[in-house]
Amino acid sequence: MRPEIVGIAGGSLCLVATNALALAIPWLIKNAIDVLRAGTAGVVPPAIVRDAALIAGLAAAQAVIRTWSRVLIFNAGRNIEYRLRGDLFRHLLRLDAGFYRRHATGDVMSRLTNDLGAVRSLFGPGLLNLINTALVYVTTVWLLLHLSPRLTLWALLPYPFLLAGARMSSRRMYHWSRALQEQLGLMSASLQEDLTGVAVIKHYTLEPVRDAKFRALNDAYLDRAVALVRVRGTLSPLFAVLGGVGTLIVLWAGGREVIAGRLTVGGLVAFNAYLVLLSWPTIALGWIIGVWQRGIAGWARVRELLQTPPRIADAPGADPAPVGPPSIEVRNLTIEVDGRRLLDDVSFHLPAGATLAIVGPTGAGKTTLVDALVRMQEVPPGAIFVGGRDVTQIPLRALRGQIGYAPQDAFLFSATVAENIGFGGESGISRRRIEAAAAAAGLLPDLAVLPDGYETLVGERGLTLSGGQRQRVALARALAADPRILILDDSLSSVDAQTEREILTRLEPILAGRTSIVISHRLAAVRDADLVLVLDGGRVAESGTHDGLMAAGGLYAALYRTERAAEELEGAA
């Protein structure tokens, strides 16, 4: 709120002026009635004309100033929402990948949209009406006491019941507001999941099942919404009824005051006019409580995200100095997640400019190892060194900025092919480098048949391209960034063996002099690596060159012979 203090203060001053003008009008009416009663029939005193002109002028000024109070305070609320959304998005970018495995995307999006909208209403209309109601009550009650203390006590008789009802309802309103927003998060998560996996739903004819699930979530949302409306709906009628009872009491007790000569007719009219001014803030209290409770519930859900610390972050005092020649050394690396050991005492050394191949059965820990190298998976200090420096002491930006990573599950953004290839460069990658990377990744034949070549929009998540095309675009993206360390995590698994060999052949001059790590389920593709690491069950089963491992006759040799036999059977077929 700090940057909006000036706007909120200005809006509050406008509200003070607005209420001062509004409260002056009944007093002028009182004076006019008293003047008329004391004057001569059929004669309009000059004071009446003056008071009428003042009332018209005050009403016009009030309209202008009230508008500005809304402009200033509503804009403050929107600016707060704007900054909160930006802060929240930047915080979400800092959170580790594990956070997104624990939290549904739809729920996170609901907090970024619906919950922040509730916070905006809290700081905009909610704050304005709260300030306005407080001002109206304080000033109006003071004027009522000035007109008639006895009548004021009668008029305020219903208000203790009003406050008791508001207190009981506000607790229930917070409960149902929080429950409603949580249910909306669940519904958004389910919807996002179904729309993303709509092809699977259609393949397995699960439309009725998913429809029934969404209907159940929607019914639960409706039930909570109705429960909230019922609670909120009791407040406005309660306040209206109690306000009406107060008016009836004033008419009865005020008439007696006028008859007794303790109050003039003009005073009674002014008293009732002030009660009318109190009626809207009183009725609006129910709405304000609803907005407040919903905003507080929304803020609680937003704060949960903002207060979630990133599990992977720069260490205090991390040295931003450039990393030396990109050698990689792993010392006794062990990683456990949720009590399950993914890597167990892994060690190896890769000199700068050399190529490491990582192979092994499915689930051996290959991807976990490369995730640890780029600190997508947190590692203990003293386990991984790049350029001779502990990766936990290198700022994440500096570490990841020198690594190009082409994963097996290639993710593309809803943009053109060229924009996806050039995505890895902050300051922009030249068209020449984009085209060179596309050629090295074997994309040129595909670009020739795409409708707009490099400018073809690939659609959401790149689904308009085949799996092999997506992988090669992701490979080209890694190459275009011109990294010092290149990691290919089975990034050509969706292309055939011949195409993979052709692409790897084209990559040889690019990999020369660059530290490279290649994961592949096709062992023939990695036989020229300087070092082959064979993982099995998270442990290093074997390591060495292709020839040395074949001569050893261990797991690598067995996997290689199985692959060759499968290729021969496929060729014979």
Per-residue pLDDT, 385? 92
Q: Is the pLDDT of residue 573 over 60?
A: no
Please compute the mean of the pLDDT values over residues 83-111 and round it to a whole number. 85
Q: What share of the chain is helix, strand, coil (3-state, %, to 5)?
A: 65, 10, 20
* 462, 496: one domain: no
Please compute the mean of the pLDDT values over residues 163-173 and round it to a whole number. 72
Per-residue pLDDT, 501? 75
Q: Is residue 167 a part of any domain in this protein?
A: yes
Higher pLDDT residue, 320 or 420? 420
Q: Is residue 439 a part of any domain in this protein?
A: yes
Per-residue pLDDT, 243? 67
Q: Is the pLDDT of residue 342 over 80?
A: yes
Per-residue pLDDT, 17? 92
- Alpha carbons within 13 angstroms on the beta-carbon side of residue 399 total 25
* 227, 300: one domain: yes
531-564 tens-digit pLDDT: 999 999 889 999 999 889 888 888 888 888 887 7
Q: Is the pLDDT of residue 64 over 90?
A: yes
* 372, 239: one domain: no
* 379, 301: one domain: no
Q: Is the pLDDT of residue 425 over 70?
A: no
Per-residue pLDDT, 364? 86
Strand partners, 520: none
206-241 tens-digit pLDDT: 888 888 988 999 999 999 989 888 887 776 677 667
* 469, 496: one domain: no
Per-residue pLDDT, 348? 92
372-406 tens-digit pLDDT: 898 888 888 999 999 888 989 888 888 888 888 88
* 101, 125: one domain: yes
Residue whose pair of structure tokens reads 């994309």 in the numeric block: 443
Q: Is the pLDDT of residue 568 over 80?
A: no
Rounded to 5°, angle at Cα 349 from 344 and 351? 155
Range with top average pLDDT, 185-199, 296-310, 494-508: 296-310
102-115 tens-digit pLDDT: 887 778 888 888 88
Per-residue pLDDT, 148? 83
Per-residue pLDDT, 315? 83
* 87, 217: one domain: yes
* 266, 338: one domain: no
* 571, 551: one domain: yes
Q: Is residue 311 a part of any domain in this protein?
A: no
Which tokens belong to 237?
């009628």
Q: Is the pLDDT of residue 163 over 90?
A: no
| Cα 554 to Cα 572: distance, rounded to the nearest angstrom | 27
Split into its structural domains, the chain has a count of 3
236-246 tens-digit pLDDT: 677 667 767 77
Rounded to 5°, angle at Cα 43 from 42 and 44? 120
Per-residue pLDDT, 328? 92
Per-residue pLDDT, 505? 77
438-483 tens-digit pLDDT: 888 888 888 888 888 888 888 777 777 887 888 888 888 888 888 8
Please compute the mean of the pLDDT values over residues 7-29 and round it to a whole number. 87
Q: Is 76 exposed, middle or buried (0-12, 13-18, 19+ CB in 10 A)?
A: buried
Q: Which long-range contacts does 426-432 make (Cβ < 8 Å, 24+ apart)?
A: 429/480, 429/481
Q: Is residue 182 a part of any domain in this protein?
A: yes
The two counts, helices (H) then strands (E), for the chain are 20, 10
- The CATH number that applies at residue 209 is 1.20.1560.10
Q: Is the pLDDT of residue 571 over 70?
A: no
Per-residue pLDDT, 283? 65
**Structural domain containing residue 115:** 2-306
| Cα 168 to Cα 408: distance, rounded to the nearest angstrom | 56
pTM above 0.75, yes or no: no
Per-residue pLDDT, 223? 92
| Cα 267 to Cα 260: distance, rounded to the nearest angstrom | 13
- The CATH number that applies at residue 413 is 3.40.50.300
Please compute the mean of the pLDDT values over residues 354-359 and round it to a whole number. 90
* 387, 419: one domain: no
Q: Is residue 506 a part of any domain in this protein?
A: no
pLDDT confidence tier of residue 176, bands split at 50, 70 and 90: confident
Per-residue pLDDT, 351? 92
Average the pLDDT over each of 58-67, 178-187, 279-288 and give the range with the smallest value.
Answer: 279-288
pLDDT confidence tier of residue 570, bands split at 50, 70 and 90: low
* 137, 201: one domain: yes
pLDDT confidence tier of residue 426, bands split at 50, 70 and 90: low
pLDDT confidence tier of residue 14, bands split at 50, 70 and 90: very high
Q: Is the pLDDT of residue 38 over 70?
A: no
Strands ordered across the beta sheet of 531-536: 403-406, 485-489, 515-519, 355-359, 531-536, 539-544
Q: Is residue 414 a part of any domain in this protein?
A: yes
* 89, 41: one domain: yes
Mean pLDDT of the chain: 83
Q: In sequence order, which ranges of 197-264 are alpha helices (DSSP H)?
A: 198-203, 207-259
Q: Is the pLDDT of residue 58 over 80?
A: yes
